[in-house]
């Protein structure tokens, strides 16, 4: 039972930190305005998520691979918008 709750907390946490980038991606897509967004944040974050993805492949962990693949797409999308619409 405790194991079930623990897994649930982990999945909920992964879901939130993954999906959180979706409203930001939608916002920059709609507004084409990225002045207040930090370029360094999204460069470092995208490199970090890419590293998590590589890590997931190396240890062959599907939750890490899936969560970070989604986050990488969103994070890279926001980064492209940040570079294009300064």
CB of 48 to a second copy, least distance (A): 3
Site string for a second copy, 47-66 (x = CB under 8 A): xxx-xx-xx--xx-------
Alpha-helical runs (H) found in the chain: 2-19, 21-31, 39-58, 62-84
Look at the alpha carbons of 49, 53, 59, 65 in this order and tell me if their dihedral is positive or negative: positive
The rounded distance, in Å, linking the Cα atoms of 43 and 77 is 11
Residues contacting a second copy: total by CB under 8 A: 40
Interaction of residue 1 with a second copy, rule CB under 8 A: no
Q: Which chain residues interact with a second copy by CB under 8 A?
A: 6, 9-10, 12-24, 26-28, 31, 33-38, 40-42, 44-45, 47-49, 51-52, 54-55, 58-59
């Amino acid at each position: 039972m405790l194991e079930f709750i623990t897994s649930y907390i982990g999945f909920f946490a992964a879901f939130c930190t993954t999906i959180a980038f979706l409203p930001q991606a939608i916002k920059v897509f709609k507004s084409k305005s990225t002045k207040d967004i930090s370029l360094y944040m999204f460069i470092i974050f995208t490199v970090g998520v890419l590293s998590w993805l590589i890590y997931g492949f190396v240890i062959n962990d599907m939750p890490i691979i899936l969560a970070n693949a989604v986050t990488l797409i969103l994070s890279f999308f926001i980064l492209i918008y940040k570079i294009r619409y300064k």
